[in-house]
Amino acid sequence: MLMLSASLRILVVLPMYGGSLPIGRYCARALEEMGHSVRTFEAPLMFPAFTGLQGLGLPPAQTAQLENSFLQVVSQAVWAQVQAQEPHLVLALAQAPMGRSLLQRLKRAGVRTAMWFVEDHTVFQYWRAYAPLYDVFAIIQKQPFMSQLAEIGQNNFLYLPMAAHPDFHKPTDLSSEERREYGADIGFLGAGYPNRRLAFRPLLGRNFKIWGSDWEGENLLAAHVQRGGARIDAAESVKIYNATKVNLNLHSSLHTTDLVSRGDFVNPRTFELAAMNAFQLLDERSLLPELFAPGELATFGTIEEFYAKIDYFLAHPEERISYAARAQERVLRDHTYTRRMQTLLEFIAERMGPWPEAGVGGQAHDENGRGAIAAASLAQSLPPDLTPELAADLAATMSRTVERLGLGPNADFDSVVTALRARSGVLDEMETCLLFLDEWRKQYTK
């Protein structure tokens, strides 16, 4: 395998909402842990404004036109962040606001692009319009998806199954109050797809808790749906999974003729539960044997087996413990986001050649000069008698800050300040000084 030793600048473009949003954040964290300079495009910040267009009461045609214009503005914002960071790679998650014109612009600029399409290609088919525009298209399914991608001109596809982030998806000590709130003999966290609604009805009256949204109209199961079907954030999901004896993991399906769909891809819940050392009962999937060995996960192939195994594993806690331990060992070894990101970066380099040290437009940069432009742009506003020693210290400070913020070598001081103000948490001494200099500069230039 091709090993990557140099630190890359990577921009992760998040979707505005949806299931791939937390996955994008896990990818960004994994890339940072690998030593890369990572920035995220925070599309969720724009979601309230986007959805607000629906509340204007305009005709559907006008609303659609406004939404399209809004997404073009979002694409321009992505491009502005690309110009500031000068990334080697723009990684987009499924549903990320990446339009055709933006992807074409990135290609002309020599910026490599990849999408991780963490969705079912048979349900969400927008990939047909966008897949050929990416340099690399990572997917969670195999055939016939791979052949279909090749037919539309995308040959740089990569099977990249889901994963877990062990620093987040981990066993958690719960208080007695939390165990009362979240705990149950049987639990499920997810959306109320048709097959799940029907499959769960025979569990009425049992110690069974359903968490998550999209359960409206399900009157029979209403008593089991927690918090009226409110959305559950990722942090709270960890507590729910840790507190539940038997976590149900029934993959979604729009069909009700066969409640166990026997599909192909394996959902993220499978890996997350395993990483937490939480027991799960999972429906069989065609790609599952490539990911887990026999005996590492408790599975079922029919709805009758589903009900029987719920009862069996509730009566055999020692077997739940054994299954959970084996699944956790496998995930921590083979199925982390760090491993997935390493595989993706290696695949891109193998298909497209070594990673260049280049910014937007492909110009090479000297890493020793990183931060020089930011230092120079600040120096222009400082007193003219700036000593060479102070100028050198300023350049060195900028170099370290620009690298830590994941900005490109051509970032100016305004880009540095903007990135600093966008960060959360406590500022260190260097960051505080730079923000003070920015305020002083504004007063001085007046």
Structure-model confidence comparison of residues 322 and 17, the more confident one: 322
List, for residues 109-159, the tens digit of each pLDDT value.
Answer: 999 999 999 999 999 999 999 999 999 999 999 999 999 999 999 999 999
User: Residues 6 or more apart from 205 whose CB is under 8 A from it?
Assistant: none
pLDDT (mean) for 230-249 = 95
| Residue 250 to residue 195: CA distance in whole angstroms | 9
Task: Report whether pLDDT(421) > 90.
Answer: no
Contact assessment for residue 435 and residue 441, using Cβ atoms and an 8 Å cutoff: no
The architecture in CATH of the region 9-163+337-352 reads: 3-Layer(aba) Sandwich (3.40)
| Residue 192 to residue 230: CA distance in whole angstroms | 12
Structure-model confidence comparison of residues 379 and 141, the more confident one: 141
Q: Which has the closest alpha carbon to 28: 426, 338, 402?
A: 338
pLDDT (mean) for 367-390 = 57
Question: Residue 61 has what pLDDT?
Answer: 93
| Residue 120 to residue 142: CA distance in whole angstroms | 11
Q: Which two tokens stand for residue 91?
A: 């990684």
Question: Residue 395 has what pLDDT?
Answer: 66
CA distances from 131 to 113, 117, 152, 156 (A): 11, 9, 8, 10
List, for residues 45-79, the tens digit of each pLDDT value.
Answer: 999 999 999 999 999 999 999 999 999 999 999 99
| Residue 334 to residue 326: CA distance in whole angstroms | 12
Q: Which two tokens stand for residue 1?
A: 């395998």
| Residue 127 to residue 274: CA distance in whole angstroms | 30
Where along the chain do the CATH 3.40.50.2000 domains lie? 9-163+337-352, 176-334
Question: Residue 88 has what pLDDT?
Answer: 95
CA distances from 286 to 143, 291, 292, 296, 350 (A): 11, 10, 12, 16, 28
Could you tell me the pTM of the whole model?
Answer: 0.81
pLDDT (mean) for 170-191 = 96
Give the pLDDT band of residue 200 (cuts 50, 70, 90).
very high
Strand order across the 112-117 sheet: 37-41, 9-13, 89-93, 112-117, 136-139, 157-159
CA distances from 17 to 48, 134, 191 (A): 10, 21, 15
CATH of region 176-334, choose from 3.30.1360.120, 1.10.1200.10, 3.40.50.2000, 3.30.300.210: 3.40.50.2000
Give the pLDDT band of residue 4 (cuts 50, 70, 90).
low
Question: Residue 366 has what pLDDT?
Answer: 47
Q: Which has the closest alpha carbon to 193: 427, 19, 29?
A: 19
